[in-house]
Amino acid sequence: MQTNYTGVVSVTIPLVRRLRGQGHGTLVLFSSVAAERPRRSNFVYGSSKAGADAFYQGLADSLAGSGVDVVVVRPGFVRTKMTEGLEPAPLSTTPEAVAEAVARALRRGDGTVWVPPALRFVMAGVRHLPRPVFRRLDF
Ligand SMILES: NC(=O)c1ccc[n+]([C@@H]2O[C@H](COP(=O)([O-])OP(=O)(O)OC[C@H]3O[C@@H](n4cnc5c(N)ncnc54)[C@H](OP(=O)(O)O)[C@@H]3O)[C@@H](O)[C@H]2O)c1
């Protein structure tokens, strides 16, 4: 919680002041699909990401028109040190694919990035599953 939420917020606030002062710049948050609907297997992590993700969404709205942009990146399962030894989830991806998606978003000015992009639609469904159905999912 300290690293993923408090740490993110406390680093972001002085950065925002600096970027606002210069009138341009982009902040990129590494959020997660876990922010969209935390799963029982990692809800502590999911809730920390949900908090940071919500902070950045509000920040993006508050910075609209200031010249400072905000990008929220929501990767699914990425094969990195963090996920070492875990069974890759469906639609798993690589750090290189995440980096390319972020670079593309920066060029295009997108505010939210799902990696892989199909997760946007998967999570739109998962987010609205009734809780009894969600509880039956084995993850
Ligand atoms: N991997 C995934 O499936 C996945 C999916 C969605 C989102 N993400 C997010 O993507 C970001 C990068 O994760 P990753 O998969 O690239 O993981 P990673 O390879 O384990 O890298 C995590 C990085 O965070 C640093 N770190 C860990 N705990 C820290 C702490 N308490 N204080 C300061 N730094 C700390 C690590 O430093 P050291 O190398 O020194 O330990 C490492 O550089 C994270 O925000 C993660 O939540 C990952």
The 10s digit of each residue's pLDDT in 43-62 is: 999 999 999 999 999 999 99
Q: What are the structural domains of the chain?
A: 2-136 (3.40.50.720)
Q: Hey, which of 2, 3, 12, 82 would you mutate to test ligand 1's pocket, going by the most ligand atoms within 8 Å of its Cβ?
A: 82
Helices (H), 1-139: 8-22, 43-63, 95-108, 119-127, 131-136
Is residue 45 among the annotated active site residues?
yes
Q: Please report the atom of ligand 1 found closest to the CA of residue 3.
A: 31
Token reading at 44: 């502590």
Token reading at 81: 């040190």
Token reading at 11: 């680093």
Mean predicted lDDT score pLDDT of the chain: 96
Residue 4 gets which letter from DSSP?
A: I
Global pTM value? 0.95
Distance between Cα 65 and ligand 1 center (Å): 31
Q: What is the pLDDT of residues 8-42, one digit of tens each?
A: 999 999 999 999 999 999 999 999 999 999 999 99
Share of the chain above pLDDT 70, in %: 99
